[in-house]
Structure 1
Amino acid sequence: MATERPEADRRLDAREIDGEPFGDIMAELEALPRGETLLLVNSFEPEPLYQVLEERGFRHETTSGGSDVWYIEIQHE
């Protein structure tokens, strides 16, 4: 059963990026003002990203939107 897409101030769909999306994700996070939320959409759960987020002071919540779609809400604290 698909989950409704979360709301966010900004959105980055990593599925649309050619190649490794890590640089694009980091650029979006650097530009994210405190208190705002970035919605990262991915085709898999990006577990290695979670430690990077924690180390840089971001909170995150992950939900599955069904087959091959994951929503990661990232907030800059």
Structure 2
Amino acid sequence: MHDEPDARLDAREVDGEPFSDIVAAIETLGDRETLLLVNSFEPEPLYGVLTDRGFDYETERAGDEWRVYITPN
């Protein structure tokens, strides 16, 4: 169980490729803030990008959606 995230982005609602929206959202996070990214599939290609940019993540599947909790490390 996770605490309430500081920000939420549902990639399913983004028109087109959501990558730039995701990057913009993580760049606004403070040191102890969390972004909840919701998607219809596990966004495995994103994990390397997050690691390279200094973010930790935890992924869980909830029914037909994937939730990725992203925090600065």
Normalising TM by the smaller chain, what interval? over 0.9
Name which structure has the greater RCO, CA cutoff 8 Å, separation 6+: 1
Distance in 2 (CA, whole Å) between partners of 1:72 and 1:6 is 13
One-letter identity of the residue aligned with 1:75: T
**Total equivalences in the alignment:** 73
Contact kept in structure 2, 1:5 and 1:71, CA below 8 Å = no
Partner of 1:59: 56
Indicate which of 39, 43, 46 corresponds to 2:40: 43
Alpha carbon RMSD of aligned pairs, Å?
Answer: 1.5
Unmatched 5+ residue regions in structure 2?
A: none
One-letter identity of the residue aligned with 2:67: Y
What percentage of aligned pairs have identical amino acids? 59
TM-score, with normalisation over the residues of structure 1?
Answer: 0.88
Unmatched 5+ residue regions in structure 1?
A: none
Contact kept in structure 2, 1:6 and 1:73, CA below 8 Å = no
Partner SS state of residue 44, structure 1: coil
TM-score, with normalisation over the residues of structure 2?
Answer: 0.93
Q: Which runs of 4+ in 1 moved over 3 A?
A: none
